[in-house]
Amino acid sequence: MATKTKEYLAEVRKKTGLSDYKISQEYDINQSNLSKYKSGKSALSETHAWLFASILGLSPAEVVVNTKIEQAKINKNKVKLKFWQEQFENISNDSESLKINIAQINPIVGDINNNAKQIIDLSLKAFDSSVNLLLFPELALIGYPPEDLLLREGFIDQVEHAIEHIRTQLPESMSIVFGAPTRSAGFLYNSAYLIQYGKIHTYHKQYLPNYGVFDEKRYFKQGNKPFVFECGGRRIGLVVCEDAWNAEPVSMAVDFGAQTIISLNASPFQVGKHEERLKVIKKRVLENKVDFIYVNMVGGQDELVFDGGSFAMNADGEVTQQFPFFQAITQNLNTLIEVNTNEPVEKTLYDALVLSTKDYINKNSVFNGAIIGLSGGIDSALTLAIAVDALGSNNVQAVMMPYNYTSSMSLEDAKAQASSMSVDYQEINIHPMVGSFNMQLSSLFVGTEIDATEENLQARIRGTLLMAISNKSGKIVLTTSNKSEMAVGYATLYGDMSGGFAPLKDIAKTMVYRLAKYRNTLNYVIPGRVIDREPSAELAPSQIDSDSLPPYNELDAILMLFIEQNQSVSHIIRQGYNPDTVKSISQMVLNNEYKRRQSAPGPKVSPNAFGKERRYPMTSKFQP
């Protein structure tokens, strides 16, 4: 249906924030003509149609045709009405051939020049394929989250220079949308940029998340206006990430004439996140009867991992295109991609850990590979598999460091896995070093019993050796502790906690077993005995984890309630768990915050991860 003059005028009011009187002054429009436009007694002149199209970012042809139809109706000229209606149909048919590509890219935070080059290269490639509109994720130019880079002197200067460079490199008939910060009147905005017909337009994100891993209000000011543009005869509205989780920004764009909503996102992965996105976007779609395109980032960034999974949804709430997860890809929305959205959680988690490990090491170019202290236990076995899948066997080294309490089974299984995964494998017997340490400390420990002190010496010697190899080789040490152990402090500070990245930091022990079994379905690399045996740190004779901890299925269930769901001790006890066990475990969690504060970063995959997300005081007397 053709848009009327008074509707265009209403949109100009919204876009400019000006009254009719101010519009007449600002744009040199006769007040009498403006009154007729407002009342519907007159259609826009061709001159004013072009003016309004420029203000609203619309195709002048579309606006002129609509006003010609309106004039013909007012003048009751059937011949002209028929002619201009045919032209309107031609424009509408052209919109059906609109080619939109999504560039689900993996930018590097702060790598402005190379990110800009990627945007330009993909845009030119899309242009050669007759693509009308290319879409990139939120803050694609600078990566997400940029954090305090935004406060650095000169950072925004580089951003602005890069945006202008992108503009000059694009053909005028090519339209692209990408995310970048905007500096205006002393404020920063998280913006979506449209470059079209050689001009730059911006939309400012209206809802700034400030929870969990997000702290955007530290850096950005909120926008308050919708943005709608025309491309290929289609009216398109822009929103950015959190905007779509709120009703108002989408409805504002639709009220402004949007037929399709595009949302640029840097939405981090956690278990169940994609299903949550689909549910929220479907709600927005059905509320507004509008098509929706969701563009997400992919890649690892410190403790966050972005899963991609971009998609398109029609006005009936049906997903018409689903992009793959954990994979950078540029694809046309009209080209069918086969993506399995019902994969087991173990595969999704494993893919997330591999990508985050790969990106953390490769994006930090100071490292040329990874080292793992391979113990013959389940945690180091899974970590080795992740490292090899992330980096390739030629870039991974495994070091076994046996002592008196290391079983022959552990030695055999560690060597077998290293061989099956074709990694460099070395053994260093730490017996003489442990003996030397104990001898030097013996005079200080006279009259004391052997306890965890002597056990921790073994772990700390191993940590020192791994760090020495790391210094010499340039490879990063991957720590192997899981979330269950980190929660209760069942890890040695400056020992097995030594290292630069912890792939399993947010993975509960019970899930470690599930992931190991999943990895063996791809090809058998983790010896079955490693999965089936009773877990042990092997720091004392006949030691097993259950000497110090409840069974892991019980421990993880309690930790899920206490950490993930923030439930009180009394609530957890009411769920049927032993009161003494719950009190003991909760106290262990609280007592070991100081350890976790010194632990290596690791990928967040749960709703409440240690590190960037969970911020708990080390010094506190509160009893939950």
Residues identified as active-site: 138, 205, 241
CB atoms near residue 143 (< 10 Å): 24
Q: Is 580 left (phi over 0), alpha (psi -120 to 50) or beta?
A: alpha
Order of strands across the sheet that contains 133-135: 199-204, 187-196, 175-184, 133-135, 100-104, 329-332
In single-letter form, the type of residue at position 356 comes to: S
Q: For residue 350, give the H/E element and its range.
A: helix 345-363
Q: How far apart are the first and last CA of the chain?
A: 61
SS3 sequence of 195-209: EECCEEEEEECCCCC
Six token digits for residue 20:
């009719």
- Sign of the Cα pseudo-torsion (461, 463, 464, 469, in order): positive
CA distances from 207 to 109, 115, 146, 286, 368 (A): 22, 25, 18, 21, 40
**C-alpha 139: how far from its chain's center?**
11
**Helices 509-522 & 345-363, crossing angle to 10 degrees?**
90
Distance CA 104, CA 307 (A): 10
Phi-psi label, residue 610: left if phi above 0, alpha if psi -120 to 50, beta otherwise: beta
Long-range contacts of 170-173 (CB under 8 A, 24+ apart): 170/120, 170/123, 170/124, 170/127, 170/195, 170/198, 171/124, 171/127, 172/197, 172/198, 173/127, 173/197
| CA angle centred on 537, ends 531 and 542, rounded to 5° | 95
Instruction: Please state, in angstroms and rounded to a whole number, the distance separating the CA atoms of residues 560 and 557.
Output: 5
Pull the structure tokens for residue 407.
């079983």
Sheet with 319-322, strands from edge to edge, namely 228-231, 234-240, 260-265, 291-296, 311-313, 319-322
Query: Could you give the CA distance from residue 229 to residue 306 in angstroms, rounded to a whole number?
Result: 28
Q: Could you tell me which residues come within 8 angstroms of residue 211 by beta carbon, excluding any fewer than 6 positions away? A: none
Helix (H) or strand (E) segment spanning residue 416: helix 408-420
Residue 273 CA to residue 601 CA, distance in Å, equals 21
Other CB atoms within 10 A of residue 374 CB: 26
CA 121 – CA 111 distance, rounded (Å): 15
Count the neighbouring beta carbons within 10 Å of the beta carbon of residue 127.
17
114 residue type, one letter: N
Closest to 180 measured CA to CA, from 267, 91, 240: 240
Please give the structure tokens belonging to residue 605: 């995959």
